[in-house]
């Protein structure tokens, strides 16, 4: 099984952060919510239960993963950043491996340079750039309340909830008009 090979590799290089990410992604991909009781236990559920037990996951972790449909922006942003970091690290590792082993590929150094620039352009966080943080992680990021705070000169911060005290800023922009705001 592919999961076993990836587990062996990441364990051998002691990359337990990426191993945990791979396991969480695998669990979510299987779509068996182990925190919820089911009358019929199929083979997939039985195998996944065994794996989760071997990984040492507790009920709280399963409930958090099984509740992905209700994740809000903070959890989605954290998951998105973890996936992005792992993808970019894997890309850098592949490039280093190819250079170290003098692997000839059909891609020229110029092609690899173009690919690198496109990846960074797509995923690099820049001031004023709108980042899509929810690629199928959670179906609904709506919040009951958002607070828009004017910050001179002509800037605005957005915070989740009704802001009475300083809290984590959700987004900053020099142009409030860049946000698509729907009032219902």
Identify whether 21 is part of a domain: yes
Over the stretch 94-119, which tens digit does the pLDDT of each residue have? 888 888 887 766 667 787 788 888 88
Mean residue pLDDT across the chain: 82
Q: Give the Cα separation of 167 and 143 in Å (integer).
A: 15
Identify whether 166 is part of a domain: yes
Identify whether 130 is part of a domain: no
Identify whether 157 is part of a domain: yes
Closest CA to 138 of 82, 30, 62, 66: 66
- Given phi > 0 = left and psi -120 to 50 = alpha, else beta, which region is 128? left
Same domain, 52 and 77: no
Domain span holding position 26 = 2-66
pLDDT for the residue numbered 35: 93
Q: What is the pTM of this model?
A: 0.74
The structural domain count of the chain equals 3
Burial of 18 per CB tally in 10 Å (0-12, 13-18, 19+): middle
Q: Give the Cα separation of 79 and 129 in Å (integer).
A: 19
Same domain, 55 and 105: no
Q: Give the Cα separation of 153 and 176 in Å (integer).
A: 12
The β-bridge partners of 29 are none
**Domain end residue (candidates: 66, 87, 102):** 66
Over the stretch 21-41, which tens digit does the pLDDT of each residue have? 999 999 999 999 999 987 677
Over the stretch 60-105, which tens digit does the pLDDT of each residue have? 999 999 999 999 888 998 998 898 889 888 888 888 888 888 776 6
Q: Give the Cα separation of 183 and 47 in Å (integer).
A: 46
Identify whether 128 is part of a domain: no
């Amino acid at each position: 099984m592919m999961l076993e090979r990836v587990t062996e590799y990441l364990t051998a290089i002691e990359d337990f952060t990426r191993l945990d990410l791979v396991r969480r992604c695998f669990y979510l991909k299987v779509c068996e919510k182990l925190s919820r009781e089911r009358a019929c236990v199929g083979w997939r559920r039985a195998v996944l239960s065994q794996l989760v037990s071997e990984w040492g996951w507790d009920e709280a972790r399963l409930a958090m993963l099984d509740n992905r449909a209700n994740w809000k922006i903070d959890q989605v942003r954290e998951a998105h950043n973890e996936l992005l970091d792992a993808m970019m690290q894997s890309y850098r590792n592949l490039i280093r491996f190819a250079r170290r082993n003098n692997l000839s590929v059909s891609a020229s150094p110029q092609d690899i340079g173009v690919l690198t620039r496109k990846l960074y352009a797509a995923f690099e966080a820049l001031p004023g750039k709108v980042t899509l943080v929810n690629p199928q992680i959670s179906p609904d990021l709506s919040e009951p309340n958002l607070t828009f705070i004017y910050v001179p000169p002509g800037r605005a911060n957005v915070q989740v909830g009704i802001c009475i005290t300083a809290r984590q800023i959700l987004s900053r922009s020099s142009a409030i008009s860049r946000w698509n705001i729907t009032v219902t």
